Amino acid sequence: MIRLDDLVLFVRTAALGSFSNAAREADLLPGQVSAAIQRLERELDVRLFARSTRSLRLTDEGNQYLPYAKEVLQVLHEGNERVSGGGDSLRGVLQVAAPSDLGRNVLLEWITNFSDAHPGLSLRLFLSDHLADVFRDPVDVAIRYGVAEDASYIALPLAESNRRVLVASPSYLGRHGRPQRLDDLAAHRCLLYVLGGRVYDKWVFPDGSERRRFTVNGTLFCDDADVVRRWAIDGRGIAYKSWIDVCTDVHAGRLEVVLPQQPGEPAPLNLICPHRKQFLPAIRQLHATLRERLEALTMPQPA
């Protein structure tokens, strides 16, 4: 008979890539995790992992079995959510991944207040600009800009009409002048974002039914979007940011929208989760809370 604990350790080992990492997460010894996987393999009469002294990877049979194991654990989790606690109280653990800038400067207070309102819920927040995988990483939901193209995910909209905007500080514009058209960006210092080793130095703008792409230049690069925003406030150059990330700075006068008549690239914000998880009470309530707050951050209309 398959043990539930062995199933959990199989899923976590597949996600973390090693017995040692899974053991550390579960506060076990690596040998205990290895023994659990061996028990599961004997029950199934298949080999789930190909082991060597330097690597651990799923076999073809392991890859085929993994989604079913996750499905079983998810169904049990949902059943526990339904029967434990009663009423409208939220219990259990909710793990949320969000971009660094958005997480620190916009979502942090709202998510903290959400946690305060549901003391029975353990909420874990992970901030990084590297995209979290809600199947392989230890997170339940990820808040992301853009649309999920993977059919195994569902995107619950948070701010569909959000766009990127060009921003700079009053001090920068006073020293270097204000661009009058997009072509003028070539003569300005632009603050560049790096993700996965790629420099995002080609800024895209809608032009009717077409898109225009401009290659920009700068001397400051960072893989943390919050640093790019701080550089802009400090007068170091022009940034091309999500309106949600900079609207507070614009309203406070720390930043100004450059070329306000020019629409920016769409940057819809969504809450990403596996299809089944969208029905969990904690995820539904978090989505409703964040959507209500974000709807108040209306985009400026082109002049």
- Please give the residue range of the domain that contains residue 140: 92-161+268-295
pLDDT at 26: 84
The answer to whether residues 140 and 102 belong to one domain is yes
- Give the amino acid at 205: F
> Contact at 8 Å (CB) between 205 and 263?
yes
> Which CATH number goes with the domain that contains 19?
1.10.10.10
Q: For the segment 252-281, what is each residue's pLDDT rounded down to a tens digit?
A: 999 999 999 999 999 999 999 877 677 788
Give 247's pLDDT tier (boundaries 50, 70, 90): very high
The answer to whether residues 169 and 155 belong to one domain is no
pLDDT at 43: 92
- Of 123-132, 143-152, 236-245, least confident by mean pLDDT is 143-152
The answer for residues whose C-beta is within 8 angstroms of residue 19's C-beta and 6 or more apart is 13, 30, 33, 34, 37, 56
pLDDT at 249: 96
Residue given tokens 């809370």 in the structure block: 289
The answer to whether residues 151 and 210 belong to one domain is no
Q: For the segment 67-122, what is each residue's pLDDT rounded down to a tens digit?
A: 989 888 877 876 766 665 544 578 888 999 999 899 999 999 999 999 999 999 99
Predicted model pTM: 0.69
